[in-house]
Amino acid sequence: MQFISNDINLDITGKRKIGFIFSLTLIAITVLSLIIHKGPNFGIDFSGGTLIQVKFSQQPSVKDIRSGLGQVKLENSSVQNFGDIEENEFLIRTSMPAMTGEGFSDAIAKALKASTGFEPEIRRIEMVGPQVGKDLRKKALLAMFYSLLFITIYISGRFEMKWILSGVTAGALMTAVYFLSIFNMSMVMLIAAALVVTLILFWRLELKFAMGAIVALIHDVTITVGIFSILDLEFSLPIIAALLTIIGYSLNDTIIVFDRIRENMKQMHKSPLEQIINRSINETLSRTILTSLTTLVVLFALFFLGGEIIHNFAFSMIVGVIIGTYSSIFVASPILLAWSKR
């Protein structure tokens, strides 16, 4: 199926400065939002606490629900509607882990029935301790960092035949991060510093394809996290899974373009690199957009029909696919061009 003609000749590399300004603006907004909100809105997976999902036979008032929670020492909990209002479902969150042993569910149901006058159905209770949440945050950051470094090894080996150089560099960085994390350093600052060092090393070691790929992936993850921060959406373990999926999806788009650039560099070795890159992007544009559109159809179906539980997961995937498609065209390849003109 041909979505865009192969002979199209959009001046994409010529507009790369506009793309860079747009991306830097989004990243600046992301950083500002994270500062204002003091980081992402972590769910209980990362912050620790107790989550209770309850369904009533009729719509009670939030005040009555809070009154019932006070009877089981959960008076400082947040209470919000879950799903459609007519479904009479609520999510109750508290920052303190409750003792969710035998009888806890019955005690909550009894207290809520007494305060609201309606029969409650306890549908879900989740409890995460604060130390477990801290460990999960650390492991989530390390998972994304390690995945980025393993990707750069693959990119450098496939496109530049520098398997050993990229492997030794990535291995040294992963080892340093692992040992420094043992000394209770801030994991966010540690990963941020390691990524900056990674970019500098790739620049100095002339791993240009890996440089373009990792900048695009950092760009995608950062902006997706920024959208969640701006909208104050809950950041949980399924979102980490979505971010890792976005990394893989964006990388696939980038590799398609890089493959065509490598082929055209052999066929058009007398042409300027800017012309080669621009032609390569145009030749793969149809496949890139068509793949993204078909993926988005499925994700929108999940978003609107999949239910409230996977709502945020589907939303993060939608944002990631759109940003990942954009970055493979306007970030990864232009970074490769900028490196060649340094």
pLDDT at 192: 82
pLDDT at 204: 84
pLDDT at 21 over 90: yes
Q: Which of 78-114 are b and which e, b meaning 16 or more Cβ less than 10 Å from the residue's Cβ?
A: ebeebbeeeebbbbbbbeebbeeeeebeeebbebbbe
Q: Are 89 and 53 a contacting pair, CB within 8 Å?
A: yes
Summarised one tens digit per residue, pLDDT across range 66-105 is: 888 888 877 777 888 887 777 889 888 887 665 555 677 8
Summarised one tens digit per residue, pLDDT across range 244-269 is: 899 988 888 899 899 999 899 888 87
In the chain, the domains with their CATH numbers are 13-43+132-340 (1.20.1640.10), 49-128 (3.30.70.3190)
Which helix (H) or strand (E) element contains residue 140?
helix 130-160
How many Å apart are CA 246 and CA 216, to the nearest integer?
A: 11
How many Å apart are CA 60 and CA 89, to the nearest integer?
A: 10
Average pLDDT over residues 300-326: 90
pLDDT at 161: 86
Summarised one tens digit per residue, pLDDT across range 35-69 is: 998 888 888 778 777 888 899 988 898 888 888 88
Considering the entire predicted model, what is its pTM?
Answer: 0.84
How many Å apart are CA 140 and CA 153, to the nearest integer?
A: 20
Structure tokens that stand for 153 in this block? 């090894």
Residue 242 pLDDT level (bands cut at 50, 70, 90) = very high
| Cβ neighbour number for residue 55 with a 10 Å cutoff | 17
pLDDT at 3: 57
DSSP-derived 3-state class of residue 53:
strand
Q: Are 112 and 90 a contacting pair, CB within 8 Å?
A: no
DSSP state at residue 318: H
Residue with tokens 């900048």: 215
Q: Which of 301-323 are b and which e, b meaning 16 or more Cβ less than 10 Å from the residue's Cβ?
A: ebbeeeeeeeebbbbbbbbbbbb
pLDDT at 314 over 80: yes
pLDDT at 29: 95
Summarised one tens digit per residue, pLDDT across range 140-168 is: 888 888 888 888 888 888 888 888 888 88
| Cβ neighbour number for residue 276 with a 10 Å cutoff | 22
pLDDT at 114: 87
